[in-house]
Amino acid sequence: KQEVTQIPAALSVPEGENLVLNCSFTDSAIYNLQWFRQDPGKGLTSLLLIQSSQREQTSGRLNASLDKSSGRSTLYIAASQPGDSATYLCAVRLRTSPGGANSKLTFGKGITLSVRP
Amino acid sequence: AAGVIQSPRHLIKEKRETATLKCYPIPRHDTVYWYQQGPGQDPQFLISFYEKMQSDKGSIPDRFSAQQFSDYHSELNMSSLELGDSALYFCASSSGQGGTEAFFGQGTRLTVV
């Protein structure tokens, strides 16, 4: 059973700091990994999708890396801003045989980020 | 750009009542997923459909059923509601049978009283 862990559960940083959010998963047979942002009581906004064959993806100030063999992904946020305050969730999709993808995304519990002005 | 539309956004029901949640995927997306997120919890996969056929099933109670229609919209029917069903219900859509980027709607907040 795939388990996704995100530690710490909460993080508070001053504005302008570069930060790294960690995600680990137990089953390395993943098809892809997706990072989401969720504001309180709101929907999930897709930030980045990394296929299992990729090592990293970039979008603006965000960079996500994937190390499938060690079961880890990181989301790097450059020059953090108060508007980045939200909960960040990573989710993995397992690979099925022969080479297809499972429908289900397994989520971590998220990291609640607070960026102080 | 068009996003995933869910209705209603908020719903209050009494115990043992029935609720129907609707999801309209992004145009040309043929896969729909349903997730349940309890307070302070991560989203839990309920069920998915590809091309109007159920493709995968997660922790969906027997009291719940869902289907995808010919226009690709989906409905989640929940009967005999319990207090524990109170949660945020998300629908997501993607193009193709799994593997592509999933886009989530804003969710329906169901409160059972």
* Cα(A18)–Cα(A25) distance, integer angstroms: 24
Tokens matching residue A54: 């990729």
Model confidence at B1: pLDDT above 80 = no
Q: Which of A 73-92 lie inside 8 A of B, CB atoms?
A: 89, 91
Q: Is the alpha carbon torsion for A30, B50, A59, A19 positive or negative?
A: negative
Quote the pLDDT of residue A85: 97
Asked whether the beta carbons of B104 and B6 are under 8 A apart, the reply is no
**Candidates B5, B26, B42, B93, partner chain A, best to mutate (most A CBs within 10 A):** B42
- Is there a contact between B42 and A49 if contact means CB atoms under 8 Å apart? no
Quote the pLDDT of residue A94: 86
pLDDT tens digits, B62-94: 999 999 999 999 999 999 999 999 999 999 999
Residue type, A80: S
pLDDT tens digits, B4-44: 999 999 999 999 999 999 999 999 999 999 999 998 899 99
* Cα(B9)–Cα(A60) distance, integer angstroms: 31
Q: Is A42 on the interface with B (CB under 8 A)?
A: yes
Three-state secondary structure call for residue A84? helix
Q: Is A2 on the interface with B (CB under 8 A)?
A: no
Q: Is A29 on the interface with B (CB under 8 A)?
A: no
Asked whether the beta carbons of A28 and A16 are under 8 A apart, the reply is no
Other CB atoms within 10 Å distance of the CB of residue B24: 20
Q: Which of A 3-22 lie inside 8 A of B, CB atoms?
A: none
Tokens matching residue B101: 């980027």
Q: What are phi and psi of B38, to 5 degrees?
A: -75, 165
pLDDT in tens, chain A (117 residues): 889 999 999 999 999 999 999 999 999 889 999 999 999 888 999 999 999 999 999 999 999 999 999 999 999 999 999 999 999 999 999 887 666 777 789 999 999 999 999
